[in-house]
């Protein structure tokens, strides 16, 4: 039987904590979603990092801690954060742009870090560098090779846009060559820079373009031994719609203390929680979670409110497809 992707249902009791330690970055990617007006310009102190992680620690639940930025390796306390997260019982991932500042590979160890993820938006410099910056491909690939040789579990994140969709297929042989066993394909979000009018070239692909390419490339990668995760995006008629804000636990923490449950909301001051004086406080009034339980024909309510152009309607005005929660994933692995 053909190896097919399965939808990864939201698991009760599993939590993902996306912790942005800072918003500073050495790069200026065309599709960057960081919005310093909304997310702050602070760099958290060592004490704040420890305290804020403790707020979310719960050893009764399987909790994933994902360190992000900006570029998280620019934070000199990242090795401390990794160690502390492990002590608090988290599964730990770092998402890096590949520069690995502050000598991360020698300051932490493969025993502490469950995954080190590198962002690559092309299988070669010609595709990657116009999106992520001159010389980025070479640096990132060299550091992937170094991390793999030191025994780190490495994955790659590829953010699909109109500019690099056709090149996705050529990423597979590169990952095989680099011995990278895991690939995350993301769909570009209409947030931050990519929401601006001048970024047409790096904007979202159409439904047909996505469906024609991504599942087939994922299957091909799986045949080569790579585990691939990609967003579900479109729900089939018989598939149930679920909002992660209602049925799952995801927290997106920013250095200004905002804590969101839905990544689509991050450009707006409607965060459900905030960290104030090292305490997690529920926001009052109309916030993101006021919308999560609304039941609409289009599926995800925030997609309908914030990205209405992504929804196709038939001649009777009915949505052609429901849009899934952006946090719902498909996965396919070897065999």
Work out how close the CB of 1 gets to ligand SF4 at its nearest, in angstroms, rounded to a whole number: 31
296 binds ligand SF4 (CB under 6 A): no
| Residue 43 near ligand SF4 by CB under 6 A | no
Closest distance to ligand SF4 from the beta carbon of 98 (Å): 8
Beta carbon of residue 2, minimum distance to ligand SF4 (angstroms, whole number): 29
HSE, side-chain direction, 13 A CA sphere, residue 57: 15
Considering only 11-19, 21-29, 100-108, 139-147, which stretch makes contact with ligand SF4 by CB under 6 A? 21-29
For residue 71, state whether it binds ligand SF4 (rule: CB under 6 A).
yes
Q: Which is nearer to ligand SF4, 66 or 326 (CB)?
A: 326
How many Cβ atoms from other residues are within 10 Å of residue 181's Cβ?
Answer: 17
- Residue closer to ligand SF4 (CB basis): 50 or 117: 117
In terms of CB distance, is 11 or 179 closer to ligand SF4?
11
Among 264, 270, 272, 311, binds ligand SF4 (CB under 6 A): 264
* Cα(185)–Cα(157) distance, integer angstroms: 6
Least distance from ligand SF4 to the Cβ atom of residue 28, Å: 5
CB closer to ligand SF4, 182 vs 329: 329
Quick check: 327 binds ligand SF4 (CB under 6 A)?
Answer: yes
User: What 8-state DSSP symbol labels residue 241?
Assistant: P
Distance CA 183, CA 327 (A): 16
Judged by CB under 6 A, does residue 245 bind ligand SF4?
A: yes
Do the beta carbons of residue 216 and residue 292 sit within 8 Å?
no
CA distances (Å), origin 315, targets 206, 238, 320, 324: 19, 22, 10, 22
Question: Least Å distance between CB 123 and ligand SF4?
Answer: 18
Q: Is 243 in the site for ligand SF4 (CB under 6 A)?
A: yes
The values of phi and psi at residue 331, to 5°, are -140, 150
Cα distance between residue 300 and residue 327, in whole Å:
11
Residue 70 as a binder of ligand SF4 (CB under 6 A): the answer is yes
Say whether residue 188 binds ligand SF4 (CB under 6 A): no
SS (H, E, C) 52-115: HHHHHCCCCCEEEEEEECCCHHHCCCHHHHHHHHHHCCCEEEEEECCCCHHHHHHHCCCCCCCE
| Pairing, β 154-160 against β 182-187 | parallel
CA 282 to chain centre: 24
- Write down the least CB distance from residue 225 to ligand SF4, Å: 28
Peptide linkage before 70 cis (omega within 30 of 0): yes
Position among 2, 12, 28, 285 found at the interface with ligand SF4 (CB under 6 A)? 28
d(CA 71, CA 7): 30
* 262 is a contact residue toward ligand SF4 (CB under 6 A): yes
Q: What residues line the site for ligand SF4 (CB under 6 A)?
A: 25, 27-29, 32, 34, 69-71, 97, 243-245, 262, 264, 292, 300-303, 325-327
């Amino acid at each position: 039987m053909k190896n097919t992707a399965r939808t990864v249902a939201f698991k009760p009791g599993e939590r993902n904590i996306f912790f942005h330690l800072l918003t500073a970055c050495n790069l200026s990617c065309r599709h960057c979603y960081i919005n310093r007006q909304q997310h702050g310009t602070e760099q958290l102190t060592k004490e704040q990092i420890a305290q804020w992680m403790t707020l979310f620690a719960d050893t009764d639940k399987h909790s994933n801690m994902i360190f992000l930025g900006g570029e998280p390796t620019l934070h000199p306390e990242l090795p401390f954060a990794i160690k502390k997260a492990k002590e608090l019982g988290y599964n730990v991932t770092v998402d890096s742009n590949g520069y690995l500042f502050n000598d991360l590979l020698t300051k932490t160890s493969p025993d502490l870090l469950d995954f080190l993820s590198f962002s690559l938006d092309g299988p070669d410099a010609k595709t990657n560098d116009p999106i992520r910056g001159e010389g980025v491909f070479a640096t990132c690939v060299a550091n992937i090779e170094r991390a793999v040789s030191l025994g780190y579990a490495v994955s790659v994140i590829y953010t699909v846009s109109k500019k690099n969709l056709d090149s996705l297929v050529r990423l597979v042989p590169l990952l095989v060559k680099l011995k990278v066993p895991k690939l995350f394909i993301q769909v570009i979000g209409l947030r931050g820079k990519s929401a601006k009018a001048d970024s047409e070239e790096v904007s979202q692909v159409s439904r047909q373009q996505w469906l024609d390419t991504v599942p087939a490339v994922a299957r091909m990668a799986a045949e080569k031994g790579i585990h691939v995760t990609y967003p579900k995006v479109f729900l089939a008629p018989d598939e149930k719609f679920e909002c992660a804000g209602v049925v799952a636990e995801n927290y997106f923490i920013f250095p200004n203390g905002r804590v969101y449950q839905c990544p689509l909301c991050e450009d707006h001051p409607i965060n459900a929680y905030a960290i104030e004086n090292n305490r997690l406080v529920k926001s009052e009034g109309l916030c993101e979670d006021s919308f999560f339980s609304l039941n609409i024909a289009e599926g995800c309510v925030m997609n309908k409110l914030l990205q209405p152009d992504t929804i196709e309607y038939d001649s009777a005005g009915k949505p052609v497809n429901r849009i899934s929660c952006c946090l719902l994933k498909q996965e396919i692995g070897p065999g």
